[in-house]
Amino acid sequence: MEESSEQQLDAKSKVTSQLIDFEWKLGMAVSSDSCRSLKYPYVAVMLKVADHSGQVKNKSFEMTIPQFQNFYRQFKEIAAIIETV
């Protein structure tokens, strides 16, 4: 039983990357080169991911509030399903 769960962990780390850190911030854009007066809130996320060789890469992206709400909904769904497993 122990052996098989250890194998499962190994299989995941050899194939996929590992999420090391999830940083976020909430900001509001107030002005840009194309539009001087803005009131644009956004969520900026920076993921720290380590590939199977251990090399860490940063991936950052931004989401509008509606995009973030969709993002959040996905995780709520994942959490709900995990409860049933």
Partner 1 sequence: MLLDLSEEHKEHLAFLPKVDSAVVAEFGRIAVEFLRRGSNPKIYEGAARKLSVSSDTVQHGVEGLIYLLTESSKLMISELDFQDSVFILGFPEELNKLLLQLYLDNRKEIRTILSELAPDLPSYHSLEWRLDVQLASRSLRQQIKPSVTLKLHLNQNGDHNTQVLQTDPATLLHLVQQLEQALEEMKTNHCRRVVRNIK
Return residues touching partner 1 (CB under 8 A): 22-34, 41, 60
CB of 73 to partner 1, least distance (A): 20
CA distance 36 to 30: 8
Residue type, position 42, single letter: Y
Please report, for residues 1, 27, 28, 43, 81, the alpha-carbon distance to residue 24 in angstroms, rounded to integers and kept in the order given: 38, 10, 14, 7, 25
Give 1 or 28: the residue with its C-beta nearer to partner 1: 28
Give 11 or 46: the residue with its C-beta nearer to partner 1: 46
CB of 55 to partner 1, least distance (A): 20
Give 52 or 57: the residue with its C-beta nearer to partner 1: 57
CB of 80 to partner 1, least distance (A): 23
Q: Angle 5-74-72 (CA atoms, 0-180°, nearest 5)?
A: 115
